[in-house]
C-alpha cells in the first residue's frame, strides 16, 4: 500500500515546507483539503488558478509525494438554492484544479438534506438517496469533462450510509469517473462492531471494483457512541483489513486520519507492520 497523511494533521507549515516535512516522516502521499491546509492565503475559488495547481504539482513531484485526494467535503444535498449553487461552484473549481494538479481523486461525502449538515432519520430514506443521486450526477458529469475521478465516502450518519446505497448510487449514476473512498470506521455503528469483519468483507465484495482510496483511523466505544482515535489504539480489526487490501488492492493509496504530529509516524509503522504480517 502507499501510505499517506491528511496534510492538515501534520504540523502547520507553508505548503512548500509542509510537503517535505510530511515526506520526511516516511509518507508517500497526502490527502489535502485546501481550506484546512493553506493558511498563508485564502485558497478560495479565485486563488485556484492553473499556476497554483502546477506549483503544488511541482512541489509534490520534487518530494516524490502523490496527491491521493483533493478534499471537497461539502454538502451537495443542501436544500438552500443559493448555498447549493455556491457548493456546486466550489466542486467545479476543485475538479478543474484537480485536472491540473494530477491528483488521484476529488473526495467527498454525501451529507444530509438540510443546511446544517447534520444527521436526521430522513437521511436513511429512499427519498434522500434519490436527492443525493440527482444532485451528485451533474457534478460527476463535470468530473468526466475534466477527466478527473470523483470519489464518495460512505458514512453511517450520512445519506450513503452503507454498502447497499453506495452500490445503488454507483449503478444509477453509472460513470467510470465515480469511485469510492472506503473508511471502515465511518461505516461502523455500535450494533455491528462485534461483526466488523463481515462488514469489511461485504464492503470489498460489493464495492471492491470502485474502491480507489482507503482512509485509515481507529475507534473506541464510549457507551454506544463511536469515538475516532489514532490507528492501533482502538477496536478496528487492522490485521483483517490489511489482509483484504493485500489480496485485492495492491498499491492503493491509504491515508491516515485522527493522527497528531506526535503519533503519525507510530501510526504509519503500525500499519506497515500489520500489512507485512497479513
Mean pLDDT of all residues in the chain?
A: 96
Interval 91-127: pLDDT, tens: 999 999 999 999 999 999 999 999 999 999 999 999 9
Q: How far is CA 20 from the centre of its chain?
A: 22
* Cell triple for 19: 510537503
Smallest CA-to-CA distance from 177 within 75, 105, 101, 76 is with 105
| Rounded Cα distance, 65 and 27, in Å | 8
| Rounded Cα distance, 184 and 155, in Å | 9
The whole-number pLDDT of residue 253 equals: 98
CATH number at residue 99: 3.20.20.150
| Rounded Cα distance, 213 and 152, in Å | 10
The whole-number pLDDT of residue 54 equals: 98
Interval 126-171: pLDDT, tens: 999 999 999 999 999 999 999 999 999 999 999 999 999 999 999 9
| Rounded Cα distance, 2 and 10, in Å | 17
Sign of torsion over alpha carbons 102, 153, 185, 248: negative
Average pLDDT over residues 19-37: 98
Domain that holds residue 238: 2-277
| Rounded Cα distance, 273 and 262, in Å | 19
Check: CB of residue 214 under 8 Å from CB of residue 186.
no
Q: Which residues contact 198 (CB under 8 A, 6 or more apart)?
A: 192
| Rounded Cα distance, 60 and 66, in Å | 7
The whole-number pLDDT of residue 111 equals: 94
> Taking the model in full, what pTM does it have?
0.96
Sign of torsion over alpha carbons 140, 123, 153, 35: positive
Greater model confidence, 227 or 14 = 14
Distances (CA, A) of 176 to 115, 143, 147: 30, 10, 10
Distances (CA, A) of 250 to 26, 122, 169: 19, 37, 25
Interval 189-244: pLDDT, tens: 877 888 899 999 999 999 999 999 999 999 998 888 888 888 988 999 999 999 99
If one counts the domains in the chain, the total is: 1
Sign of torsion over alpha carbons 56, 141, 151, 226: positive
Amino acid at each position: 500500500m502507499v501510505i499517506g497523511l491528511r496534510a492538515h494533521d501534520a504540523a502547520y507549515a507553508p505548503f512548500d515546507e509542509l510537503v517535505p516535512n510530511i515526506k520526511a516522516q516516511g509518507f508517500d502521499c497526502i490527502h489535502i483539503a485546501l481550506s484546512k491546509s493553506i493558511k498563508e492565503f485564502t485558497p478560495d475559488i479565485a486563488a485556484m488558478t492553473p499556476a497554483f495547481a502546477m506549483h503544488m504539482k511541482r512541489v509534490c513531484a520534487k518530494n516524490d509525494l502523490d496527491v491521493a485526494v483533493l478534499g471537497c467535503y461539502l454538502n451537495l444535498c443542501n436544500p438552500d438554492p443559493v448555498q447549493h449553487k455556491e457548493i456546486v461552484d466550489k466542486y467545479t473549481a476543485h475538479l478543474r484544479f484537480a485536472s491540473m494538479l494530477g491528483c488521484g481523486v476529488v473526495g467527498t461525502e454525501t451529507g444530509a438534506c438540510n443546511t446544517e449538515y447534520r444527521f436526521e432519520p430522513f437521511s436513511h430514506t429512499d427519498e434522500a438517496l434519490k436527492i443525493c443521486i440527482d444532485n451528485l450526477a451533474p457534478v460527476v458529469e463535470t468530473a468526466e469533462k475534466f477527466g478527473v475521478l470523483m470519489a464518495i465516502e460512505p458514512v453511517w450518519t450520512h445519506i450513503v450510509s452503507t454498502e447497499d446505497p453506495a452500490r445503488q448510487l454507483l449503478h444509477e449514476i453509472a460513470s467510470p469517473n465515480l469511485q469510492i473512498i472506503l473508511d471502515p470506521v465511518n461505516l461502523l455503528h455500535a450494533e455491528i462492531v462485534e461483526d466488523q469483519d463481515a462488514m469489511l468483507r461485504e464492503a470489498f465484495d460489493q464495492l471492491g471494483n470502485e474502491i480507489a482510496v482507503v482512509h485509515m483511523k481507529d475507534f473506541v466505544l464510549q457507551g454506544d457512541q463511536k469515538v475516532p482515535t489514532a490507528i492501533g489504539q482502538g477496536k478496528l480489526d487492522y490485521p483483517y483489513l490489511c489482509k483484504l487490501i493485500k489480496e485485492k488492492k495492491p498499491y492503493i493509496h491509504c491515508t491516515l486520519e485522527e493522527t497528531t504530529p506526535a503519533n503519525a509516524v507510530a501510526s504509519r509503522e503500525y500499519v506497515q507492520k500489520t500489512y507485512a504480517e497479513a
